[in-house]
Amino acid sequence: MEAAPSFARDIAPLFREGDVESMLFAFDLREYEDVRENADEIHERLEDGTMPCDEEWPSDRVALFRAWIDAGMAP
């Protein structure tokens, strides 16, 4: 059985430094608590392609982010 996604192992590495910098006005994508508190909004923007601002994430990355939410958002 595959382990549930975790922020440190699976989610944080998906965000590039430029993604982090461009979103600092709203939240810090390097910080678990910030991402957890804004997870639904982040997922919505990832899904509709408005985040990150320079290119859409591939569907497997969006699905991984959703799986992390659905599994309880482990640190």
Average pLDDT over residues 7-18: 97
Q: Which of 28, 38, 33 is nearest to 7 (CA)?
A: 33
Q: How far apart are CA 24 and CA 30, in angstroms?
A: 10
The pLDDT of residue 53: 82
Model pLDDT for residues 14-59, shown as the tens digit of each residue? 999 999 999 999 999 999 999 999 999 999 999 999 998 888 999 9
The model's pTM is 0.93
